[in-house]
Amino acid sequence: MDEDSARAGYDEVPRVELTAAAAALLRRLHEAHGPLMFHQSGGCCDGSAPMCYPEGEFRTGGSDVLLAELDVAGVEAPVTFWMSRSQYEVWAHTRLIVDVVEGRGSGFSLEAPEGVRFLIRSRVVGAE
C-alpha cells in the first residue's frame, strides 16, 4: 500500500487524534525541543508505544506510513505521526488516540524525563 492509499479517507475520519493531556505535553516538549514527530514501530514492549522525537531525528522511509499531521494549538508546525507499514496493516481499521499516562516507559521518547509516557488508545473505525 502506498502512502496515498494509506491516507485514503484520511480527511473523512481522522486516523490519529490527541487527548487534551497529550496536546498539553506536546506544547511543553515543543518549547524545549522544537518541531516534533511521532513514530510507532509495533515492536514488543515499548516498541508498541508511540515514540516522540524532534522532527527528522527518526529516519522514515519506504517501510513507514504517514498517518497524520497533527495540529496542536500553540505549536506552529504540525506534529507528524508515522507508523511502520507492517504495524499499519494491523491497525488500518482503527482510529488511534494518543494519550498520556503516568509512569516512565523505556526508550528514547522525549517525554521520558517528565515521568509520563505516551500511550495509544484505539477505536475501530465505524464502530462509534
Whether this model's pTM surpasses 0.75? yes
pLDDT for the residue numbered 12: 55
Closest CA to 123 of 16, 2, 28, 7: 16
Q: Could you state, in order of their start, the residue ranges of all structural domains in the chain?
A: 32-122
Buried b (16+ CB within 10 A) or exposed e, 66-93: bbbebebeebeeebbbbbbbebbeebee
Tell me: the pLDDT tens digits for 66-99?
A: 999 999 999 999 999 999 999 898 888 899 999 9
C-alpha cell at 4: 496515498
Looking at per-residue pLDDT, the higher value among 45 and 9 belongs to 45
Which pLDDT band holds residue 49 (cuts at 50, 70, 90)? Answer: confident
Tell me: the pLDDT tens digits for 101-112?
A: 998 776 789 998
Looking at per-residue pLDDT, the higher value among 122 and 35 belongs to 35
Distance CA 35, CA 8 (A): 26
Distance CA 20, CA 99 (A): 8
